[in-house]
Amino acid sequence: MVHYLIDTKVTDQGIKLIFFNDKTDVYEEIVDNAYQPYFFVQYPLSPKNRQIIEELNLKTVITKKNELFSGQPIKIIKIQLRSLLDLKSISKKFEKSWEAEIPLILSYVYDQNLTFGAKHTIKGDQIKPIYTIPKKSWPSFEKKYLEIKEIDPLKYELLERWFTLCTQPIPHIPPEILNLNEKLDLERYYLAFILSRIANIPIPMAYSNRHVSTWIKSILHNYLRRHRILIPTSKELRRGETKKHIQGALTFSPKSGVYFNTIVLDFESLYPSLIDAYNLSYETINCLHQECQDNRVPKLEHNVCTLQRGIYSILIGALKDLRIHWFKPLSNNKTINYEAKWQAKATSKLLKVILVSSYGVTIRIRGLSRPSLAESITAYGRYCLQTTYNIAKERGLHPIYGDTDSLFLDNPSSDQVQWLIKTVKDRFQLDLAVDEQYSVCMLPKAMKAYFGIRRDGTSDIKGVTAIKSNSPPFIQNIFKDCVNVMIDVKNWKDFEKAKRRIQKIVYKALTDLQTGAISKKDLTYTVGIHEDPKEKMSEIALHQPYQCALQLIDTGKTVKRGDVVNFVKVKPFTYRNRTFTVKPTEQLRNIKEINMNDYKRNLRTALNQTFKLMNLKFIKEVNKNGTLFDYI
């Protein structure tokens, strides 16, 4: 009989395993009353540790584990406990211990080689997980990952294991059996099963837990335990490093202007790919092998091991390869059935969440933090982007902007793009792909802010002041109307026509504003309160959100940190012996109170960031170097 392992609990009788058979809709509980929790202490015993063991009459066994950083086997003392509930309290008595912080139910499942969310066979007291790739998928899988199998067998082993788990069917289990009392979210349900299998955590935990660092810890710990490697303490993992600030990604100053046929190339899963391609792992950074000392991280003093494959590198690399080369393409495959497509989408989405966090957790998350690993990841990121930018420039591909993992090229040919993609793959072992194709793109001087019109006519707006969430709808709508004018622009002739249409849009908006035709709803700013308003009330000069909060509080309303307030900008007035410039939207009685000049100024700031590039004339009499937005 095939059963899915869905949960595990610690009971007075022992470790309770909860299985579900989706064919019979029956769940089964199996209790293991022989399991003894354990942790490790240093060998040989110190006098203090020996005394604790004798006083508590603890059972000890001298065993061997591999040490992560040296790769060598070491002797260590395993302390086994009679009670399932004493692990943390007893381990804290010792000077130093290992693996006592791993949750007991996870520790048990790691040891028994079981996998949550996956199929198992149960024969008497023998429980075995099923790791079989479906016959119909095997030829494609083997062909897709054959090269990895030959040159990186450790990563291939993980690919095969996770592929097997991720392609198993998702059983339909009643929510009450999973202890899920809320209304079941189907997407979260699928994500929970895939996460449960990848990170080896119980289904209920996978459904409710949102801490990606917990998932990654379990992935790492599960691997180390299966390979008899002693799981280091968080302090050991940091290797005595105290650095808190990590230099970030590289961003090039945009060559501001208007461009036609802009191609945006994107490094797929850049940081996970760097972790994989450059063998970046806890034990490979600053290894002590003499042969590896010259393999330096670009512009840093760290070296990377060339003699052994990094564990973090293969874990993240395998997940990355599964997403990029299998589940992401499969999720867009229109020929597969609904169930398979839904599962592929869930898997691709989940893998992306884990991969996106694979760099961040190495900065300051306890149990995963290693500053030298984090800064090596970003250093290789800067190096690869800079080198790719230089290669594109030397080859005449005209790079006009670059940020973190993307590169903007001005009007390259198809052959040039493919050449660059191949060159990057050959040189860095990184996947560069076309992310966006804009028929027209406007790059202002500001970094991380631009907009482009895709070839299908849809707009892509990034980082522009006008569309920030706290901008009033009035400004957002005008900006979007102006952007929509650019949809049909394909050349400079179209561009000149668009300029005239944008002029009319802005003129009309200003007229409507001046005549009071804009509703107060469209003039409303929506801003979050980040500090306790009561602590701000004694300040002489209050920022506008707190001016609004004070007026609301005075009417008997409760406003606290984390709340959102809605207000309009009005002509200055005196309130509580202070000058205020906003009112809560609901308290505005007359549209004539609105400070029109303030809205004009904000409109100018918002539009100027992008559309000043078009050199729009306001009236014929203005200076020829002026723009429409200089005169709003």
pTM (two decimals): 0.88
Please return the burial class of 11, using the count of CB atoms within 10 Å of its CB with bins 0-12, 13-18 and 19+. Answer: exposed
Structure tokens at 555: 């009417």
Q: Which CATH superfamily is domain 2-130+169-210 in?
A: DNA Polymerase, chain B, domain 1 (3.30.342.10)
pLDDT of amino acid 616: 61
Name the band, by pLDDT with cuts 50, 70 and 90, for residue 447: confident
The least confident of 82-86, 154-158, 164-168, 419-423 is 82-86
Spell out the domain ranges in the chain.
Answer: 2-130+169-210, 131-168+211-233+270-386, 253-268+395-463, 464-519+601-630, 525-593
Looking at residue 535, its pLDDT comes to 86
Question: Residue 459's closest CA among 346, 358, 610?
Answer: 610
CATH of 253-268+395-463, one of 3.30.70.20, 3.10.580.10, 3.90.1600.10, 3.40.50.1380: 3.90.1600.10
Residue 156 near residue 312, CB atoms below 8 Å: no
**SS3 category, 296:** strand
Q: What is the CATH number of domain 525-593?
A: 3.40.1820
571-626 confidence digits (pLDDT tens): 999 998 899 999 999 999 998 999 999 998 888 888 877 777 766 643 333 344 44
264 — pLDDT class (breaks 50, 70, 90): very high
* 80: three-class secondary structure by DSSP: strand
Of 427, 388, 380, nearest to 406 by C-alpha is: 388
Q: What is the pLDDT of residue 622?
A: 36
- Residue 462 pLDDT exceeds 90: no
Instruction: Using pLDDT thresholds of 50, 70 and 90, give the confidence band for residue 244.
Output: confident
Asked if 310 contacts 229 with a C-beta cutoff of 8 angstroms, the reply is no
Task: Classify 152 in phi/psi space as left (phi over 0), alpha (psi -120 to 50) or beta.
Answer: beta
- What is the reported pLDDT for 449? 83
- Pick one of 3.10.129.10, 3.90.1600.10, 3.40.309.10, 3.40.190.10 as the CATH number of 131-168+211-233+270-386: 3.90.1600.10
What average pLDDT is seen over the chain?
Answer: 92
Q: Give the pLDDT of residue 624.
A: 45
- DSSP type of residue 250: -
Strands 257-267 and 26-32: unpaired
User: Tokens standing for 439?
Assistant: 């028929």
Domain 2-130+169-210 shares a fold with domain 131-168+211-233+270-386: no
Name the β-bridge partners of 584.
567
Calpha distance 605→607 (Å, rounded): 6
pLDDT tens digits for 530-575? Answer: 999 988 888 888 999 999 999 999 999 999 999 999 999 999 999 9
Q: Please provide the DSSP assignment of 404-450 as one string.
A: TTEEEEES--HHHHHHHHHHHHHHH---EEEEEEEEEEEE-SSTT-E
Q: What's residue 620's pLDDT?
A: 35
How far from 244 is each of 247, 282, 365, CA to CA, in Å? 10, 17, 11
Q: What is the pLDDT of residue 466?
A: 65
- Whole-angstrom Cα Rg for the chain: 30
The pLDDT of residue 271: 98
The answer, yes or no, to whether residue 467 has pLDDT greater than 80, is: no
Provide the sign of the torsion angle of the four alpha carbons 274, 276, 277, 279, taken in this order.
Answer: positive
Q: What is the pLDDT of residue 631?
A: 40
- Tell me the CA distances in angstroms from 367 to 78, 233, 285, 373, one per residue in order: 21, 7, 17, 13
The per-residue pLDDT for range 274-315, each reduced to its tens digit, is: 999 999 999 999 999 999 999 999 999 999 999 999 999 999
